[in-house]
Amino acid sequence: MLKRIRKIIAPALIILLGISPLALFARAESAPASFPEISSPAAVLMEFSRGEILFSQNGSERMPPASLTKIMTLFLAFEAREEGRVSWDDKVVISEKAWKTGGSQMFLNAGDSVAFRDLVTGIAVVSANDACVALAEHLSGLEASFVQEMNNKARELNLKNTRFENASGLPHPDHYSTAEDIALLSHSLINKYPEVLDLYSQEGFTFNGISQMNRNPLLGRFPGADGLKTGHTTDAGYCLAGTAEQNGMRFISVIFNASSEGIRQKDSEALLNFAFRNYCLETVFTAGEIVATTAVSKGEEKEIQLEVGNDTEVVIPYDRKDDLEIRMDVPEIVTSPVSKGTPLGKVEIILDGTVLKEEPLLASDDVARAGHLTLFWRSLSGFVSSLWTQLIEKIQNVLPW
């Protein structure tokens, strides 16, 4: 059985904890700094490595998501490809319904055969509504059937306040989501299919001789920005799910119902700037670092060292380094033989009582089972040592000193 070892404070360690004064998801006792004032009605900031919401302003309020809907559409497209139900080179015949779809388009023509890859790119880069319908029909037969899959996936991802009525985000009274749900969806998409950022970060897309620029205002302006999606309708206002990576840290910002493109961009940049200025990344342990030992029963060696399996990098507010703790779970004894790399315990990095990261502890070397002669002499040595210890104790008890 694993024996719980007392917490050991580790002053030089760093890891993420969501901190949010005046926010719905506050977890830390104090914030590294005051969050910026956000003008948009709803906004969320998420740290990517743990999916922790650091700031939420009306983040659970249901609102029209507009084209942020397409994040789910692409999630299902990548999932279908992963499952082998479609390939990038599959030809999709464009229906009249897809051709007639209004709003932003890649200008598909009814009856044309278009590569699935081009539809996905058109959705990611130029927010093509016509491509959403064509993709949905190709994968599910009808857009309505695809929308059912979208809602099933929303439940699977625990998007508690999201409901889809179409694949594109065109207005519908029963089509809604929240800034928090979109942040969670964005996190799930990037985490499972990081290659999607190669599409979202494209500056433009040309199809049938028509060139259009990516509408994401963060691209080329905010350092490290590589996604995700803009959205706008009269009811939804100006929306943006943005993400950027700097110095090994990634954050996701979501803005709902901004009053203008400028406010949408300003609020997104304010959240991301706050994140990168007030959080930091540091290596707690390096791969192969020895952090514990444990006894070995009947082994050629009497104990074995335990090492951390991977580099342990963590994100926290820059001023919380001294508040971190290490907790180790290691066995009191293991039975030989032991192979190098065998998991024999774990180490946890903790802040304010929350486990921020967990890494396995591995056997640092092989330990073979000892031979019978070795075990005999070891047992005899232990017996003699025990007798000698008892004799010394008796002498000490008898002599008058």
Active-site hit among 20, 40, 67, 104: 67
Annotated catalytic residue, options 127, 168, 201, 364: 127
Q: Could you count the other beta carbons within 10 Å of the beta carbon of residue 244?
A: 24
Strands (DSSP E) found in 298-353 = 303-308, 312-317, 325-331, 333-335, 343-351
200 lies in the same domain as 260: yes
Blockwise average pLDDT, block size 10, the chain, 401 residues: 35 36 37 82 96 96 98 98 97 97 96 98 98 98 98 98 98 98 98 98 96 96 97 97 97 98 98 95 88 84 88 87 89 87 91 88 83 51 56 61 54
Residue 395 lies in a domain: no
* Short-list 211, 86, 225, CA closest to 146: 86
Query: Domain ends where: 260, 281, 302?
Result: 281
- The DSSP bridge partners found for residue 357 are 349
Evaluate whether residue 19 is within a structural domain. Answer: no
DSSP 230-278: EEEETTTEEEEEEEEEETTEEEEEEEEEESSHHHHHHHHHHHHHHHHHH
- Give DSSP secondary structure letters for 57-93: ESTTS-B--GGGGHHHHHHHHHHHHHTTS--TT-EEE
**Count of Cβ atoms closer than 10 Å to residue 334 Cβ:** 21
Q: Are residues 160 and 241 in the same domain?
A: yes
Q: Is 70 a catalytic residue?
A: yes
Supply the pLDDT for residue 18.
38
CATH number of the domain within which 324 lies: 2.60.410.10
Length of the chain: 401
Given the structure tokens 């985000």, which residue do they identify? 169
Neighbours of 300 (CB within 10 A): 15
Q: Can you give the CATH number for the domain in which 61 is found?
A: 3.40.710.10
255 in the same domain as 315: no
Domain's final residue, options 281, 305, 334:
281
- Structural domain total, the chain: 2
d(CA 98, CA 232) in angstroms, rounded, equals: 20
Q: Are residues 229 and 295 in the same domain?
A: no
For 378-387, give one letter per residue: b (16+ CB within 10 A) or e.
eeeeeeeeee
Domain extent at residue 301? 2-14+286-363
Q: What pLDDT score was predicted for residue 282?
A: 77
264 and 302 fall within a common domain? no
In terms of domains, do 296 and 266 share one?
no
Please pick, among 20, 40, 49, 70, the residue that the annotation labels catalytic: 70
Identify the residue whose tokens are 């500056």: 203
Tell me if residue 140 is catalytic: no
Q: Is 168:103 a contact under the CB 8 Å cutoff?
A: yes
Q: Which residues pair with 252 in a beta bridge?
A: 46, 243
* 10 and 57 belong to one structural domain: no
Joined together, the tokens standing for residue 353 give 């009582």
d(CA 80, CA 291) in angstroms, rounded, equals: 43
Residue 327 lies in a domain: yes
Same-domain check for residues 67 and 170: yes
Active site residue 127: yes
149 and 247 in a common domain: yes
Burial letters for 185-224: b for 16+ Cβ neighbours within 10 Å, e otherwise? Answer: bbbbbbeebeebbebbbbeebebeeeebebbbbbbeebee
